[in-house]
Amino acid sequence: MLIRRITLLRNRVVGGEARGIFVSYPGILLAVLLIAAAVIPVLGLVYGTSRSATRRAAETLEFQQQQYLALLERHNQLLDARAPSTPQSAPRADAPGVAALTEEFRAGNFQKALASADALLRQGRLDAAAKEDVCLKRALCLVFLQNYSEALQTVKAGLTVFPDSYPLMQLEADLFLRLSDFDAASPLIDKLVAAHGGPSALFSRANLYWALGRTEDAGRDLEVVLSCGVPLLEKAAAHNLALLYARTADEPRALFYISMLQTLAPVGYRTDFAAGSVYLSLSRYKEAEKRLLDAYHNQPQSADVILELAVLYQKQGKDALAREYMSDAAQADPACANAASPIRGAWIFGLAESPSPRAVRRETAEERRMRDPGEKAALLAASPASL
């Protein structure tokens, strides 16, 4: 009946007979007002939500692009920071296949970049500088794919050829930290700090101090990195300072550095993760769950995020849910799903750890076999000839 009356109203208005119609049909006027009152806010909410989602996606993409540029800038700085005893020219941009590899790496196509790096290393036609560059990019691809064991093999193989390579030594130290092999990481980091003393080395030493319980020493190094002028490392330092002080029950400083991180990196799963971890340490479970779930939705393959959710639910007595997340963390990253690690969730590498939400995940054993069947072992053999 109501639809029929509204249709009649429309026809009469279009036909020029609107005069007096609302007097004749007061119920129609009321119905129109009620429908408008109900529909307009809903349309506004949908429109606002759509705009908010679109804006957030654009901000996320912009942040990721900035991360890539910062990563490549740091990568080039590391290559330029070789020990004076081993001067080498920069990698030739026109070396066959190197430019394509760089573009694949920059675009976040890590599986494809990995295959390209393997092909270039097998060809054996690269000069020394290009070979070091390709070896480092291969290892970084594996880091992004959370295949830390093979990344470490790649770095070790590279160091047999380039024993004084600062970027390879830096990455090896960070991989030992990620795998909680602090005894192996310690002498490497001491060597890096003594030889170069740059923000990357100090960042690694801070993580080592944190792992060894030397909180004040870790905080001092991270404070230096926080003002180093390398944006990505500054974000990583703020992230780790927030977690460091949250885990030592220093609530004012933990919240201060979370605020700083949100200023430096307003978008990104690492910001949500750090905030969630801080709230978890402060027993503010509702806020912790919200931020950790935001991080999880942006980066569902991150073992750090999954593991932190497991710890959260364990502290809340939700044992079944905690076990489920713990199992998922072990599947995402078996080597690092350690809730007892003193640096659980730390930003280790000082690199862009979130290249593209949902796109980057740990490669499976089947993908590793398909990527380079029968040839990977020879490529990674600890022999200079293999590189």
Distance of alpha carbon 65 from alpha carbon 74, whole angstroms: 14
Q: Which CATH architecture has domain 86-197+363-387?
A: Alpha Horseshoe (1.25)
Q: Do 110 and 354 touch, CB atoms closer than 8 A?
A: no
Q: Which of 60, 66, 64 is nearest to 231 (CA)?
A: 66
Alpha-carbon distance values, 314 to 143, 298, 300 (Å):
29, 22, 19
CA 126 to chain CA centroid, Å, is: 31
Distance of alpha carbon 215 from alpha carbon 209, whole angstroms: 7
Residue keyed to tokens 């069947």: 373
What is the token pair recorded at 184? Answer: 């192996």
- The set of residues, in sequence order, having a beta carbon less than 8 Å from that of 293 and lying 6+ positions away, is 309
Strands (E), 83-130: none
Q: Which of 19, 20, 27 is nearest to 3 (CA)?
A: 27
Distance of alpha carbon 138 from alpha carbon 94, whole angstroms: 18
Under DSSP, the state recorded for 163 is T
Q: Which of 362, 356, 363, 357 is nearest to 106 (CA)?
A: 356
| Per-residue confidence (pLDDT) for residue 387, from 0 to 100 | 52
Q: What is the third-level CATH fold of 232-362?
A: 1.25.40
- Furthest-apart CA pair in the chain: how many Å? 97
- Residue 250 phi, psi (nearest 5): -100, 80
Q: Do 67 and 108 touch, CB atoms closer than 8 A?
A: no
Q: Do 332 and 303 touch, CB atoms closer than 8 A?
A: yes
What is the token pair recorded at 103? Answer: 């573009």
- The set of residues, in sequence order, having a beta carbon less than 8 Å from that of 298 and lying 6+ positions away, is 60, 268, 269, 272, 354, 357, 358
Helix (H, G, I), strand (E, B) or coil at 335: coil
| Per-residue confidence (pLDDT) for residue 96, from 0 to 100 | 65
Q: Which of 356, 350, 341, 384 is nearest to 156 (CA)?
A: 384
Residue keyed to tokens 């020029």: 16
CA quadruple 271, 273, 276, 278: dihedral sign: negative
| Per-residue confidence (pLDDT) for residue 95, from 0 to 100 | 63
pTM (two decimals): 0.69
Distance of alpha carbon 240 from alpha carbon 233, whole angstroms: 10
The H helix count followed by the E strand count for the chain is 19, 0
Residue keyed to tokens 């944006």: 231
Distance of alpha carbon 182 from alpha carbon 144, whole angstroms: 21
CA quadruple 359, 200, 387, 187: dihedral sign: negative
Q: Residues in the chain with pLDDT < 70? A: 1-96, 352-387
- Residue 181 phi, psi (nearest 5): -95, 75
What is the token pair recorded at 140? Answer: 């970084």
| Per-residue confidence (pLDDT) for residue 35, from 0 to 100 | 53
CA 370 to chain CA centroid, Å, is: 26
CA 117 to chain CA centroid, Å, is: 22
Distance of alpha carbon 161 from alpha carbon 128, whole angstroms: 9
